[in-house]
Structure 1
Amino acid sequence: MRDLSHQQIVGVERRKVPRNISLQNRIIINISGVRFETFKSTLEVYPNTLLGNPKRRKYYYDNVLEEYFFDRHRGCFEAILYYYQSKGRLRRPNSVPLDTFLEEIIFFDLGQDALAQVRKDENLKEVEKAQLPRNRCRRYGDMVPVTALGRLTAVICALAGVGTIGMLVSVLVDRYHRIVFRTFVSFQNWFYGLLMAERTAEKRRIEGPVTKA
């Protein structure tokens, strides 16, 4: 029923426009190969949107074909065009996934009122802004499931943590080796001194006491 109402509104708009209307007011919008025809005056009712702003939509104009081309979702655009023609009524077609429909609304910049209308119709609750901790180190961790930047930061922090731990282990192992080596050398010197003292004492015992002349 929604798709049918969209098609009907296009026909109603055409019947309302006089036949002698200037061709300059007529506009063709190509959505991935499907052409839609409307009027500039219809779009410019909402000048803050992408299609309603002449300067913004000019970027998508094809001078050769004399039409505006958008590589966007075809099924969604019928509902978006209906939004202009019906002075603000926005309904998601049954065949279009909700996330895709929201992406198209954001791309064509229909505004917060349009998004609020969809949220109401779809019984969606607006996501509350996450409260991040004051500690910056903890913020990065909390950002991980929320933003791509948070994920990247988390990876960098994880690699930095692994590197730091690796350096600490390397330093500890190096110090351990030095301590063991010094202990071994000291023990070796002590043992060598003890051995030499025993040999000297044994030599003196064998030779007997030295007799003075």
Structure 2
Amino acid sequence: MKIRLLLILLLFVASVGVLVWLYDGKAFLPPKHARSTWHEITADLEACGHRKHLKARQYRHFAKIAAAEHQYPAERLFRAIACSEELQEQNLAAAIHRLGGSYTPPGDIALYGSSTAGNLERCIGIERYRFGRHSDAEIRRAMSRGNRYAARLQVWAAANDLRQIVLLESLGRNSASGFAVCPRCGNLYATTYLDRYCPHCLTAGEEFIRFE
């Protein structure tokens, strides 16, 4: 009788121990919603980084074509856009690492190019399509998950994409002598209307990278 009671007591203690172990293990796991939120946000940042990488490579190629055709205003703008995209890609990659992920730039890239006039017309259409497709969804997703850090980078990227469209469309119709890029956030300017401080990150205008 005593042996039976002892066995029952041992089984009870073992059962309690297993339940405690399972509860503690579950408590240390991040909530399922948090894990999916982390994945969605880093995936959005990575997708944006890949777009920035592709654009930087493409605009570098456009700049070479413009230089060969002596289209120097277009060359300066294309080089400024490429610089801006590279800086924003670096910021996005750093954000992914801070959130615990990893970033790998895209591999093989097929570049296209015709005359500078053709390149300009084509890239305006592509930029408008990309802006309408990507600008809001990723920002709203980051904001809905409470990640203002990721949302801020997405806002910077979207604002810069819109600024690029305006500058590309106005190329040849204004007297912009050059362009400038904020070295911290990649914000792009025509030097004709240059802010004293970057409105995105408050970097002083004296530090801007100039293309003149």
Q: Shared fold by TM > 0.5?
A: no
The higher relative CO (CA closer than 8 Å, separation ≥ 6) is in 2
Question: Which structure: greater strand fraction?
Answer: 1
> Which one has a larger percent helix, Structure 1 or Structure 2?
2
Kindly name which structure, 1 or 2, has the bigger radius of gyration based on alpha carbons. 1
What is the TM-score normalised by the length of structure 2? 0.24
